Amino acid sequence: MADKSKPSTLSVYLYVPNIIGYARILMNCFAFAICFKDKYLFSALYFVSFVFDALDGWFARKLNQVSTFGAVLDMVTDRISTACLLVILSQVYRPGLIFLSLLALDIGSHWLQMYSSFLVGKTSHKDVKDSSSWLFRLYYGNRKFMGYCCVSCEVLYILLFLLAKNETENLTEVLVNAATQSWFYLILLTLSVVGWLIKQLVNIIQMKTASDACILYDISKKR
């Protein structure tokens, strides 16, 4: 007899935060389909999808609908969305290798962190209380700080996409021109770049920490 107290597979798929995740995927698919036809609509849809990322987490905790599937869906959606935007920016700006390198760092560090977390028996890749890096602990331990860094990254990438007028823009020239164009752009870019830099540093720490965890796991098995 099935245990009625346990949720069924279908009911987990239909959790409210997971439904929000499906909506984000559809929204992003449409947004990227029209990104070069309507830059402003694309930016609006992309940012709304990003806001939904915070909502699904809130609903998961509020409705007691936290699930491993939901956490993975959330991360995969985030990573693919950012990756697609970085690929587009790599085609618009020169040198494009900058954005492709950021893509590799983002996906590589998060994949390693997720894998190493489950390898050592943690239930979440955000459980970094045992890390020796204060910045790493602060990032995953303080939602507001993490939110600032994540929002900064997405805002910076959207701004760069909106500011690009040609398909072979020079990244430095666009940033300098925008910063000298108005105080609004200067302040927005400054806040965004600071948060972006912190997040890239966290990604590097995350990759190193996760790599160390994988190596230490192998060493412990051989003893």
Transcribe 11-52 into DSSP letters.
HHHT-HHHHHHHHHHHHHHHHHHTTTT-HHHHHHHHHHHHHH
Q: Report residue 19 as tokens.
A: 């439904």
Confidence (pLDDT) at 14: 95
State how far the alpha carbon of 204 is from the alpha carbons of 78, 79, 113, 134, in Å.
18, 16, 11, 14
Q: Report residue 223 as tokens.
A: 């003893």
State how far the alpha carbon of 163 is from the alpha carbons of 160, 199, 211, in Å.
5, 22, 37
In 3D space, the residue among 139, 146, 148 whose CA is nearest the CA of residue 192 turns out to be: 148
Confidence (pLDDT) at 5: 66
Residues in the chain, pLDDT under 70: 1-5
The CATH number, out of the four listed (2.40.50, 1.20.120, 2.60.40, 1.10.8), of the domain defined by the range 9-222: 1.20.120
- The SS3 assignment for 93 reads strand
CA angle 87, 93, 95 (to 5 degrees): 95
H or E segment and range at residue 167: none
Residue 119 identity: L
| Residue labelled with tokens 């690929």 | 87
Confidence (pLDDT) at 186: 94
pLDDT digits (tens, 9 = 90+) for 153-194: 999 999 999 999 877 789 999 999 999 988 999 999 999 999
Confidence (pLDDT) at 7: 81
Confidence (pLDDT) at 62: 93
User: What is the DSSP annotation of 120-145?
Assistant: TT-S-TT--TT-S-HHHHHHHH-HHH
DSSP letter assigned to residue 96? T
Q: How far is residue 12's CA from residue 193's CA, in Å, rounded to a whole number?
A: 38
Task: Output the average pLDDT for the chain.
Answer: 92
Q: What share of the chain is helix, strand, coil (3-state, %, to 5)?
A: 80, 0, 20
Confidence (pLDDT) at 1: 45
List residues with catalytic annotation. 78
Contacts of residue 206, Cβ cutoff 8 Å, sequence gap at least 6: 109, 110, 112, 113, 136
Q: How far is residue 181's CA from residue 175's CA, in Å, rounded to a whole number?
A: 10
